[in-house]
């Protein structure tokens, strides 16, 4: 085991960084619109079950694999088994990190761009009178390749600057500084949402389930999103876990990270739906909810200039703290496996992501007609990257993680390792894990529920069921 590997300076730092990875565009951009399209509370309910049954066990396992081996995903599997197959599963994570960042960085760029537009008061101009005109503004801006590429470059440069400083001075400091700001802004937005007229309609949309809305698709969507939102299936949590010391606990940290991530998604839902419902708008606006619907609604409020700016700043911060964790997977791979210096690894991987992301950025202008059809839909490069990562690579990675923990490493070994770390054994050793019922529950979810459900999602996402 390497001694010179950087480590988080405290358990709290790890929790903040892991929560920073989990809380991202998935919580603030994606969760509200997919909940909006799929029945609000009914979707939320299924999503919570997926987090508990599948997200939490896999989160524990990912962090554990990192902490136990102190390696990137490829190295972690290489350390634990001689079977070369698993090394390719780790490599899949490195590939997923490229694919996700290539579209994530474009949306991160939009968030930065809208923070700037909010700052210069664009949302108070006639272009933002209605969501329809705001949509035209968004499309017009995106039709300029230099605009999209410029903001994508800015986003990636911020990620690179943070990563160049290393684990403690970069990843840890950025999360410690940015996460409290994120929470603070979100709370301001929630309070302003709740005092709007008819805010209760937005709240009940999120909390009063309409069970008729639940169908196979809702379940599969919720499961896929549980993976994306907890940063699971591609080794991001494994890489962050590799910077933990053996004394740090994993079980408590996983609970906290999943809890923070879920609470933040729900709060973002409250902040957004109270505004949408109090203005009488449709919550099912889809991916444009945040960029088309919200700016005109927010800017109509008293103090709207300020709230719109805060909202896009929040979105940008969330995207940055997740973006750094995505790129860190490939950086750790080059540093551990190819013995590159951190600086060289960051610059090489960022340049590669930059190139891969260009077709995604051009999907809204020069390459918008360059589409591939699949399941009767036309997919641009951007859509392909999103689809491939969220619906194929992440669930695939999660499936193999569960199989590895349940059948290759073995549940006894997983539980024995999980109990290493001070408070794990104090809180969980004597109570939860030594309680046979819990261990058999853990065994059952990891060995059967996770692989079977994930496999179903996978079949669904490639259109086979
Ligand atoms: N969890 C992030 C979000 O919700 O936006 C996205 C993400 C980060 C996915 C890191 C995967 C990952 F490894």
If DSSP codes are grouped into helix, strand and coil, which group holds residue 375?
coil
Task: Tell which atom from ligand 1 comes closest to the C-alpha of 29.
Answer: 5
Ligand 1: distance of its center to the CA of 197 in Å? 34
Q: Which residue has the tokens 């109570």?
A: 431
- pLDDT of 430 > 60? The answer is no
72, 222, 231, 237, best to mutate for ligand 1 pocket (most atoms within 8 Å of CB): 231
Long-range contacts of 114-119 (CB under 8 A, 24+ apart): 114/291, 114/295, 114/312, 114/315, 115/309, 115/312, 115/313, 115/315, 115/316, 117/312, 118/295, 118/305, 118/308, 118/309, 118/311, 118/312, 119/309
C-alpha distance from residue 279 to each of 130, 275, 276, 294, 305 (Å): 11, 6, 5, 10, 17
At 195 the pLDDT is 92
Is pLDDT at 1 greater than 60 in this prediction? no
For residue 121, the CA-to-ligand 1 centroid distance in Å is: 30
| DSSP label at residue 374 | E
Residue with more model confidence, 131 or 236: 236
Q: Is residue 133 part of a domain?
A: yes
Closest-lying ligand 1 atom to the alpha carbon of residue 237: 13
pLDDT at position 434, please? Answer: 57
What value does the mean pLDDT take over residues 278-307? 83
Q: Is 377 helix (H, G, I), strand (E, B) or coil?
A: strand
Q: Give the CA radius of gyration of the chain.
A: 21
Q: Band the pLDDT of 2: cuts 50, 70, 90.
A: very low
When pLDDT is averaged across residues 94-99 and rounded to a whole number, the result is: 91
Residue 312 lies in a domain: yes
Check residue 224 and give its pLDDT: 83
Q: Mutate which of 18, 326, 327, 394 to test ligand 1's pocket (most atoms within 8 Å of Cβ)?
A: 326
pLDDT at 27 over 90: yes
Q: How far is C-alpha 105 from the geometric centre of its chain's CA atoms?
A: 13
The residue contributing the CA closest to ligand 1 atom 11 is 231
Are the CB atoms for 242 and 70 separated by under 8 Å? yes
Q: Average pLDDT over the chain, rounded to whole?
A: 89
Tell me the best of 24, 182, 234, 331 to mutate to test the pocket of ligand 1, counting ligand atoms within 8 Å of each CB and taking the most. Answer: 24
Reported as a pLDDT band with limits 50, 70 and 90, residue 436 is low
- What CA–CA distances, in Å, run from 379 to 48, 107, 120, 205? 30, 17, 34, 31
Query: In this predicted model, what pLDDT tens digit does every residue of 191-247 receive, in sequence order?
Result: 989 999 889 998 988 888 888 888 877 887 888 889 999 999 999 999 999 999 988
Give the domain extent around 444. 11-461
In-domain check, residue 4:
no
Q: What spacing in Å lies between the alpha carbon of 394 and ligand 1's midpoint?
A: 10
Atom of ligand 1 nearest to the CA of 394: 11
Report how far ligand 1's centroid is from the alpha carbon of 231 (Å). Answer: 4
Residues having CB within 6 Å of any atom of ligand 1: 21-22, 24-27, 100, 228-229, 231, 234, 236, 322, 325-326
In a domain, 162, yes or no: yes
Distance 191 CA to ligand 1 centre (A): 26
The ligand 1 atom at the shortest distance from the C-alpha of residue 228 is 9
Q: Whose CA is nearest to atom 12 of ligand 1?
A: 231
> Does the pLDDT value for residue 435 go beyond 60?
no
3-state secondary structure at position 4? coil
DSSP code of residue 188:
H
Which pair of tokens denotes residue 16?
């903040």
Q: For residue 6, is it within any domain? A: no
Centre of ligand 1 to C-alpha 24, Å, is: 6
Pocket probe for ligand 1: among 229, 264, 327, 390, the residue whose CB has the most ligand atoms within 8 Å is 229
pLDDT value at 10 more than 80? yes
Nearest by Cα to 390 from 211, 264, 232, 201: 232
pLDDT at residue 424 is higher than 80: no
With respect to residue 290, please indicate whether it lies within any of the assigned structural domains: yes
In a domain, 433, yes or no: yes
Q: Please state the rounded mean pLDDT for residues 347-363.
A: 94
Question: Rounded to whole angstroms, how far apart are CA atoms 329 and 335?
Answer: 10
Pocket test for ligand 1, best of 29, 47, 100 (most atoms within 8 A of CB): 100
User: Is position 5 within any domain?
Assistant: no
Protein residue with least CA distance to atom 10, ligand 1: 231
Report the percentage of the chain scoring pLDDT > 90.
59
Q: Where are the alpha helices (DSSP H) in 338-462?
A: 342-361, 381-387, 394-403, 411-418, 422-423, 436-444, 450-461
Q: Which atom of ligand 1 is nearest to the CA of 22?
A: 1
Q: Domain count for the chain, please give it.
A: 1
Residue 140 has pLDDT above 60, yes or no: yes
Candidates 17, 19, 22: which one to mutate for ligand 1, based on the most atoms within 8 Å of Cβ?
22
Q: Per DSSP, what are the bridge partners of residue 373?
A: 378
Nearby residues of 172 by Cβ (< 8 Å), 6 or more positions away: 8, 9, 13, 16, 17
At 411 the three-state DSSP class reads: helix
Q: Which residue's C-alpha comes closest to atom 7 of ligand 1?
A: 231
More confidently predicted of 131 and 86: 86
Residues in the chain: 465
| Contact in structure between 399 and 389 (CB atoms under 8 Å) | no
Q: CATH number for the domain including 333?
A: 1.20.1740
Which atom of ligand 1 is least distant from the CA of 31?
4
Which residue has better confidence, 407 or 365? 407
Contact 223, 54 (CB under 8 A): yes
Phi, psi of 368 (to 5 degrees): -65, -25
pLDDT digits (tens, 9 = 90+) for 143-160: 999 999 999 999 999 999
Residue nearest to atom 8 of ligand 1 (CA): 231
| Cα 77 from Cα 242, distance rounded (Å) | 13
């Amino acid at each position: 085991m390497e001694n010179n590997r950087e480590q988080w300076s405290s358990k709290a730092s790890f929790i903040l960084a892991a929560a920073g990875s989990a809380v991202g565009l998935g919580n603030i951009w994606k969760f509200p619109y997919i909940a909006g399209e799929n029945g609000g509370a009914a979707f939320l309910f299924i999503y919570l079950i997926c987090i508990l049954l599948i997200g939490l066990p896999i989160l524990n396992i990912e962090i554990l694999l990192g902490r136990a081996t102190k390696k990137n995903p490829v190295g972690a599997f290489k350390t634990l088994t001689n079977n070369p197959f698993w090394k390719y599963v780790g490599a899949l994570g490195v590939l997923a990190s490229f694919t996700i960042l290539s579209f994530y960085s474009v949306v991160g760029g939009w968030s930065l761009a809208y923070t700037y537009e909010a700052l210069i008061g664009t949302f108070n101009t006639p272009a933002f009178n209605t969501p329809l005109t705001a949509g035209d503004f968004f499309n017009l801006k995106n039709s300029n390749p230099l605009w999209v590429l410029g903001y994508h470059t800015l986003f990636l440069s911020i990620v690179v600057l943070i990563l160049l400083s290393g684990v403690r001075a970069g990843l840890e400091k950025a999360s410690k500084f940015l996460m409290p700001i994120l929470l603070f802004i979100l709370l301001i937005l929630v309070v302003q949402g709740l005092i709007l007229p008819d805010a209760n309609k937005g709240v009940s949309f999120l909390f009063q389930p309409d069970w008729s809305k639940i169908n196979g698709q809702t379940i599969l969507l919720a499961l896929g999103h549980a993976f994306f939102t907890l940063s699971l299936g591609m080794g991001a949590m494994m890489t962050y876990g590799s910077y933990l010391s053996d004394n740090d606990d994993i079980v408590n940290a996983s609970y906290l990270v999943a809890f923070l991530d879920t609470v933040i998604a729900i709060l973002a839902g409250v902040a957004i739906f109270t505004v949408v419902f109090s203005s009488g708008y449709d919550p099912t606006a889809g991916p444009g909810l945040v960029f088309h619907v919200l700016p005109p609604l927010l800017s109509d409020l008293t103090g709207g200039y300020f709230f719109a700016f805060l909202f896009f700043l929040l979105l940008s911060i969330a995207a940055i703290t997740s973006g750094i964790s995505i790129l860190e997977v490939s950086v750790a791979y080059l540093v551990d496996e190819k013995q590159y210096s951190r600086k060289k690894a960051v610059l090489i991987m960022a340049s590669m992501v930059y190139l891969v992301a260009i077709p995604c950025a051009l999907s809204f202008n020069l390459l918008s007609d360059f589409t591939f059809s699949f399941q009767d839909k036309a997919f641009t490069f951007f859509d392909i990257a999103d689809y491939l990562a969220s619906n194929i690579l992440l669930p695939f990675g999660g499936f193999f993680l569960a199989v590895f923990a349940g059948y290759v490493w073995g549940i006894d070994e997983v539980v024995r390792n999980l109990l290493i770390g001070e408070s794990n054994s104090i809180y969980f050793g004597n109570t939860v894990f030594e309680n046979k019922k819990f261990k058999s529950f853990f065994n059952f979810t990891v060995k059967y529920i996770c692989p079977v459900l994930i496999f179903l999602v996978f079949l669904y996402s490639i259109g086979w069921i």
